[in-house]
Structure 1
């Protein structure tokens, strides 16, 4: 994941693999596509990306997360490194696709804009960006201390921002949205069905 270095790295140090289970649905990618995952965490999504492309790079701001990802045998072909989403260590136009799964929402507003600008910078003309982040309709929106509008800090110091569709569309301009929707489902917690919601988006770089 990506956010303030201290809370995330401490969480990975204490708890190890934070994310398990099946990854979120991923796009089809050409076998030779150069793919970047921003905020790879302990490698949950990374292994699935490697089944779609043989050229995958991944970064995370947490050294402990990157170390955990490197230990998984399914992620061995990937190029892994420690980096901040707001300052990606790659050349302009280096990737055919960039994947961000619940990453930018863990940054404050200036950081979200910086990270989105970096995605635009490293994406090739005609490339594709895949975004997933929590919606303002999610049951956890409003929980914790509000640090900015629709941004809340949990007890361990990690912030989460809850997006609207219009906000995501504006955040990634000048990329063109080709798919943008709110995915809604129900989660049963202590006998109650509670709403979960996240924004899913696919953007194309149509710049000449």
Structure 2
């Protein structure tokens, strides 16, 4: 996976343009209302979404691809970017909130749990989580070779897990879930193309 994303960032740069996901803007308002001061963004990419948070919060981004980190540091110098795996805690402190955009569905079950556990380990008690992921209502669900229940290699060399609402909630069963839902996401690529995905989101709070 690391080679795939590093290669794409090296070839295509800011793959999905510089406009943030509407979910990042929604998360920012949720965090602001809760009095959040610091935010962690695992799988931060080149900073497309971190910039939404770094204008008002102390923001940390974790990204495996060094090529993406170099782009991110130029695009969003206010965020502290860390080159490393989001599956392991990378901070020496805890934050008030975690925003994780379209990372959870990239892993098989064991690693999905590792990602959530790493995020919780870096989150203050009572802190907020906002995650997005592929929905089982997306047209790609069920396409290609099935690797695990709900997980398909829908393109050659590229697989994803497609969440039902119940499945997503079960992944966060150790937290206090406050909201979940779905929405249509439109991505505009650097080459001028447009891609649409049906995503789910979940907002939860780490138990005290």
TM-score when scaled to structure 1? Answer: 0.84
Q: 1:56 aligns with which of 59, 69, 76?
A: 59
Output one character per residue of 1:127-157: Cα deviation in whole Å (capped at 9) or x when no partner.
0000111110111212333322222235462
Q: How far is 1:71 from its partner?
A: 1.7
> How many residue pairs end up in the alignment?
194
Runs (4+) off by over 3 Å: 184-187
> Contact between 1:137 and 1:196, CA under 8 Å: does it hold in 2?
no
CA gap of 1:127–1:185, structure 2 versus 1, over 3 A, is closer
Question: Where does residue 191 of structure 1 map in the other structure?
Answer: none
For 2:20 and 2:125, how far apart are their aligned partners in 1? 31
Question: Where does residue 172 of structure 1 map in the other structure?
Answer: 172
> Contact between 2:20 and 2:52, CA under 8 Å: does it hold in 1?
no
CA gap of 1:45–1:176, structure 2 versus 1, over 3 A, is same
For 1:5 and 1:185, how far apart are their aligned partners in 2? 24
For 1:9 and 1:186, how far apart are their aligned partners in 2? 23
Q: 1:14 aligns with which of 11, 20, 37?
A: 11
Question: Where does residue 43 of structure 1 map in the other structure?
Answer: 47
> Contact between 2:82 and 2:90, CA under 8 Å: does it hold in 1?
no
How well do the aligned residues superpose, as a CA RMSD in angstroms? 2.4
Question: Where does residue 24 of structure 1 map in the other structure?
Answer: 22
For 2:111 and 2:201, how far apart are their aligned partners in 1? 20
CA gap of 1:102–1:186, structure 2 versus 1, over 3 A, is closer
For 2:100 and 2:185, how far apart are their aligned partners in 1? 21
Output one character per residue of 1:76-118: Cα deviation in whole Å (capped at 9) or x when no partner.
1110011111112124x60100010101111111110100111
CA gap of 1:10–1:170, structure 2 versus 1, over 3 A, is same
Q: How far is 1:46 from its partner?
A: 0.9
Structure 2, unpaired ranges of 5+: 188-195
For 2:107 and 2:185, how far apart are their aligned partners in 1? 25
